[in-house]
Structure 1
Amino acid sequence: MTDYQLLKTKISAILVPLNYVEVTIDTERDLDGSVDCIYALGASRFMVSWDGEEDCGMLEKWTNNTWIMVGNIVHGSSKTELVRSVDELCRSLKITIQEKNGR
């Protein structure tokens, strides 16, 4: 499993049960291995991205016609560190969704 696939798998495990649908599937942006996908539910959008050149990933939310980062950038420095930082990003996503739903 690539670092991007790990990130995407953990994020989709949160979004898909909430009825988000992957509307843009694994779009490669350049020759360095950068890739992203977008999940949508109505007007709500989240983009999972991996920057192949910088070896890092991120999650962004579409807000007021611009992409805003959710949580921190995750790095693939080691598998242990990657898993830890992806788990932290997932916690940030859950908080973002709860705030959106007014909880």
Structure 2
Amino acid sequence: FMIALVTGGFFKISVLLYAAVIGTANLFKIKSSSRLSYPIGLMILFMSMTISSNFQEHLHEGLGIEMFVLYIPLSAIIPPLLLLVAFLKNRKDHKQ
């Protein structure tokens, strides 16, 4: 069980780091995205150590604060707004 848990966590972090590197490279129009691997990896390492120093603080941040700051806006507010913008833009393009 622990081997599967650690392996799954490793692959999850690897995929998220890869997505962050590719997304940042596309955002800033950098041709070689591999140049961003170490800086973004170091930023993630630094942020993970500064956000919570122990497990209790990690649970408080993740279940209490982060739920209202990240999950609700990113899952309930922003997607309907983007859908509305897409409908309005698509409607405008079809009229022309």
**Superposition TM-score, scaled by structure 1 size:** 0.32
Q: Which has the higher helix share?
A: 2
**Superposition TM-score, scaled by structure 2 size:** 0.34
